[in-house]
Structure 1
């Protein structure tokens, strides 16, 4: 995390410098500041500084170094258990389709939002409780 924080601090400094150069260039040659370019570069600098600050604080609160920061670490040390995944499950696809219908309803009409929302609720419940019924019940 220490290396990642340093990378983000470097990116924040880069975007800050480039944003000032962009604003100065526009002021020098056009006579006014072009806000459509300087503002996003400044916001990129703020975002990178925020990420760097978060990574610094997270690194300080940990009791030990991460495996990514140590030179003697093995691959197995940085490979945690992420959870249980169901490769046979169709519920994520159904939930994505229901979400698509719901968001499509914003352009088509309210009736499609209601249908997509109800379908999304059914798919979400089905995905949460898929291990409690059928062949894979526990």
Structure 2
């Protein structure tokens, strides 16, 4: 995870100065002057998350320079290949984008459907108190 954290954290060193230079040379053009440094903040948040994750999980086979391919064999995570909840979330996102073109009133059912889809996806494998 260290290389991923470094990759994103180095993005701060690029995007923030480039955004300031852009703002100076463009005469304060509002969109780029704001969005480029905010992109630096975004990659900083992702890099910070990866750095915290790297401290928590420790060394992986990918982080070892002398690592072999077979060291990474085995399960790579828990996935739900037969889940229908991503389809519900995607439908909610499509209705939300349709709301931008048709009318803002469509955002209400889109948000409700997105909340249902996200809660269902989150608790899909729950075996605790809220299992379904």
The answer, yes or no, to whether TM exceeds 0.5 is yes
Tell me the equivalent position of 1:71.
Answer: 65
**Alpha carbons of structure 1 residues 92 and 12: separation in structure 2 relative to 1, 3 Å:** same
Structure 2, unpaired ranges of 5+: 125-132
Runs of 4+ in structure 1 deviating by more than 4 angstroms, as ranges, are 83-87, 91-110
Tell me the equivalent position of 2:5.
Answer: 5
For the pair 1:34 / 2:32, whether they are aligned, the reply is no
Counterparts of 2:51 and 2:77, CA distance in 1 = 24
TM-score (norm 1): 0.56
Structure 1, unpaired ranges of 5+: 28-32, 129-138
DSSP-derived class of the 1:65 partner: coil
Counterparts of 1:26 and 1:104, CA distance in 2 = 32
1:41-80 alignment runs, 5 A limit: 41-62=36-57, 64-79=58-73, 80=75
Q: Which has the higher helix share?
A: 1
1:85-96 alignment runs, 5 A limit: none
Counterparts of 1:105 and 1:71, CA distance in 2 = 48
**Alpha carbons of structure 1 residues 93 and 65: separation in structure 2 relative to 1, 3 Å:** closer
TM-score (norm 2): 0.58
Alpha-carbon distance, 1:49 to partner: 1.2
DSSP-derived class of the 1:73 partner: coil
Alpha-carbon distance, 1:76 to partner: 3.5
**Superposition CA RMSD, Å:** 3.9
**Bigger radius of gyration among the two:** 1
Alpha-carbon distance, 1:83 to partner: 4.2
Alpha-carbon distance, 1:73 to partner: 2.3
